[in-house]
Amino acid sequence: MEQVLANGLYLGAQYALIALGLTLIFALMNVLNFAHGQLYVLGGFVTYTIYGQLEMPFVAALFAAAVTLALVGGLMERFLFRTVLKRSVREESTMLLAAGTAFFLDAIILLIFGEKQRGVPKIVDGVFNWDFRLIMPYDRILIGFLAIFAIAAFVLYMQYSKTGRALRALAQDRVAAQLMGVNVDRYSMIGFALGAMLAGVVGGLLVTITGVNSGIGGPISIKAFMMVMIGGAGVISGAIAGGFILGMLESVGLSVLHSYGDITYLMIFASLMVFLSIRPQGLMGKPWG
């Protein structure tokens, strides 16, 4: 039982961090970023290159992943989404753009990093063992705490920094924020960069545990969508809750339904559908976003 809970928490922290980035972008621009998982993968590969290949310190690699992804995110907003948002008749067209961008990133990642599964050396050795009731490698514990630390930092940043306040104003009401003197274009870009950065950081963290390969972007995006939906689209607390809930469900499901394989995911997905059709705004969202 302790094992299951610990696994759930560890998984949930990573998931929550991914969902935070996605929900931030959604709240700001009403864009469902299909490419979010690809951003995660990119973060993983940057970390792999710098830490795994060039053998530089892990911290430097993680930092490089964050910066690279922030840059990619900023560029995506500036040159792609902004243009389409302004010119399209139906804002759903950004969905098409997001999907196109996801393909594009997939292609780039495939060309540069190849299709092999890549792993890196462990950042810390050893295994924590509490009487065989709870066994957890130290690197998992460390990564879990780093993720929780990142979540806390992000929440504090959104709450107390000037940028964070501007972003929240923008998320609440674009027009009102503009009237209040918030530079909408600039903060949309910052928000997008921040969201992409979060995805990259998780990619960088998780590459040390599970490795990374070019094909997992899509599935990661879908999981991120689900977490965001569970908590309520565009709501920060919701994304965190959604992440931990999905992490827990997976952990519990995989241990209980272990022998039935994919049934776990079928159960999770099906119950999510039922939940959403009863409560479309998720746990903490406002109705209709």
Q: What residue ranges bind other proteins (CB under 8 A)?
A: 26, 30, 32, 34, 80, 83-84, 87-90, 92-93, 95-97, 99-101, 103-104, 106-108, 110-111, 218, 222, 225-226, 229, 233, 260, 262-263, 265-266, 269-270, 272-273, 276-278, 280-281, 288-289
Residues in contact with 254: Cβ distance below 8 Å, sequence separation at least 6, in sequence order = 264
- On the CB side of 34, CA atoms within 13 Å amount to 17
Q: How far apart are CA 146 and CA 162, in angstroms?
A: 24
Cβ nearer to other proteins, comparing 171 with 201: 171
| Least distance between other proteins and beta carbon 227 (Å) | 11
- Smallest gap from residue 274 Cβ to other proteins (A): 8
Distances, alpha carbon 243 to alpha carbons 33, 79, 84, 163, in Å: 17, 30, 30, 24
Of 63 and 103, which CB lies nearer to other proteins in the complex structure?
103
User: For the residues of 99-151, what is the DSSP string, one character each?
Assistant: HHHHHHHHHHHHHHH-SS-B----SS--EEEETTTEEEEHHHHHHHHHHHHHH
d(C-alpha 262, C-alpha 267), whole Å: 9
User: Which residue, 110 or 153, has its beta carbon nearer to other proteins?
Assistant: 110
- In the complex, minimum distance from the CB of residue 92 to other proteins, in angstroms, rounded to a whole number: 6
Choose between 114 and 126: whose C-beta lies nearer to other proteins: 114
CB of 131 to other proteins, least distance (A): 36
Give the integer Cα–Cα distance in Å for 80 and 191. 15
Among positive and negative, which fits the CA dihedral 227, 229, 230, 232?
A: positive
Least distance between other proteins and beta carbon 201 (Å): 24
Q: In this structure, are residues 173 and 2 in contact, taking their beta carbons and an 8 Å threshold?
A: no
Residues 9, 172 contacting (CB under 8 angstroms): no
Q: What is the rounded CA–CA span in Å between residue 23 and residue 155?
A: 13
Residue among 92 and 185 whose Cβ is closer to other proteins:
92
Q: Which is nearer to other proteins, 3 or 30 (CB)?
A: 30
Q: How far is the CB of 100 from other proteins (least distance, A)?
A: 4
Smallest gap from Cβ 195 to other proteins, in A, equals 16
Q: Which is nearer to other proteins, 70 or 230 (CB)?
A: 230
60 and 228 Cβ atoms separated by less than 8 Å: no
Instruction: Provide the 3-class DSSP secondary structure of residue 86.
Output: helix
